[in-house]
């Protein structure tokens, strides 16, 4: 057994927390970009896009993220594609986040009254101009709160990357617990760090939602 002080445990977990934050940002930003592209393809009624995107969303929403991680990390290796734990985790979180974000944002676009589409069309705006100047600015206002709320799910989802060997805060906690035989203390610190990340986001999301309702 290795002797670790509370400060030693917390310091090592803080170092690993950087990877949790980094992976969360990669997954959320990447998922946002892919989700936005899927949303535009659906709105533009690209041939075959509706069914294809619906299948994509059902696939990633209907299967556990843990299984997706296993398939990306071990499945790609089976077909001869060597990948790192970071790449597999970032890929899975990006696809996972994109499936949810495109549905969140689709609901926000659908919430815009049909009259807004008709009014912008009467001004001879094409689809790109309608989206840029009329529809998306209004939908973005609605989407802010649920989007920020979903960030909490992405942060917590990074914990599953520990099963494929990616050393973020959960994996670091497991390693320190195995070395010190102090699981209660170590995982209490891990839980505290997740709470420190997620609670401000949840609070921000609720405040944004209340603010939007007050100005609606």
19-33 per-position pLDDT tens digit: 999 999 999 999 999
Measure CA 146 to chain center.
Answer: 12
pLDDT score recorded for residue 34: 97
The average pLDDT across 54-83 equals 90
Q: Is 14 among the domain residues? A: yes
pLDDT score recorded for residue 52: 93
Q: Predicted confidence band at 83 (pLDDT cuts at 50, 70, 90)?
A: confident
- Provide the number of structural domains found in the chain: 1
Q: What is the mean pLDDT of the chain?
A: 89
Q: Is 31 among the domain residues? A: yes
pLDDT score recorded for residue 102: 95
The region, left, alpha or beta by phi > 0 then psi within -120 to 50, assigned to residue 181 is left
pLDDT score recorded for residue 18: 94
Query: Which residue segment(s) compose the domain that 93 sits in?
Result: 6-215
If 0-12 CB within 10 Å is exposed, 13-18 middle and 19+ buried, where does residue 169 land?
Answer: buried
Whether the predicted pLDDT of 42 surpasses 70:
yes
Whether the predicted pLDDT of 190 surpasses 80:
yes
Whether the predicted pLDDT of 38 surpasses 80:
yes
Q: Is 86 among the domain residues? A: yes
pLDDT score recorded for residue 215: 55
pLDDT score recorded for residue 121: 85
Distances (CA, A) of 161 to 32, 110, 129, 166: 20, 34, 40, 6
Measure CA 120 to chain center.
Answer: 32
Q: Predicted confidence band at 94 (pLDDT cuts at 50, 70, 90)?
A: very high
Whether the predicted pLDDT of 63 surpasses 60:
yes
Contacts of 90 (CB under 8 A, 6+ apart): 23, 26, 27, 30
pLDDT score recorded for residue 57: 95
Q: Predicted confidence band at 214 (pLDDT cuts at 50, 70, 90)?
A: low
Q: Is 1 among the domain residues? A: no
Q: Which structure tokens are listed for 175? A: 């390693």
Q: Which structure tokens are listed for 150? A: 């979903």
Q: Predicted confidence band at 92 (pLDDT cuts at 50, 70, 90)?
A: very high
CATH code at position 112: 1.10.3720.10
pLDDT score recorded for residue 44: 85
Whether the predicted pLDDT of 211 surpasses 90:
no
Q: Is 196 among the domain residues? A: yes
pLDDT score recorded for residue 73: 92
pLDDT score recorded for residue 213: 59
Instruction: Note whether 14 and 84 are within 8 A (CB).
Output: no
Q: Residue 102: count other Cβ atoms within 10 Å of its Cβ.
A: 25
Contacts of 16 (CB under 8 A, 6+ apart): 167, 168, 169, 171, 172, 173
Q: Predicted confidence band at 47 (pLDDT cuts at 50, 70, 90)?
A: confident
């Amino acid at each position: 057994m290795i002797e670790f002080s509370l400060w030693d445990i917390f310091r090592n977990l803080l170092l690993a927390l950087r990877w949790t934050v980094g992976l969360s940002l990669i997954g959320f930003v990447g998922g946002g970009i892919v989700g936005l592209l899927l949303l535009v393809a659906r709105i533009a009624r690209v041939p075959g896009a509706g069914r294809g995107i619906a299948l994509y969303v059902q696939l990633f929403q209907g299967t556990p993220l843990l299984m997706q991680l296993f398939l990306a990390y071990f499945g790609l290796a089976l077909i001869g594609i060597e990948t790192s734990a970071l790449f597999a985790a970032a890929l899975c979180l990006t696809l996972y986040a994109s499936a949810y974000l495109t549905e969140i944002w689709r609901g926000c676009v659908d919430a815009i009254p049909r009259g807004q589409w008709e009014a912008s069309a009467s001004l001879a705006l094409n689809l790109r101009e309608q989206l840029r100047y009329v529809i998306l600015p209004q939908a973005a206002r609605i989407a802010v709160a649920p989007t920020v709320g979903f960030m909490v799910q992405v942060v917590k989802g990074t914990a599953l990357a520990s099963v494929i060997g990616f050393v973020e805060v959960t994996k670091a906690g497991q390693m320190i617990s195995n070395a010190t035989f102090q699981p209660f203390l170590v995982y209490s610190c891990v839980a505290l760090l997740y709470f420190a990340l997620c609670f401000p986001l949840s609070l921000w999301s609720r405040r944004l939602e209340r603010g939007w309702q007050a100005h609606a």
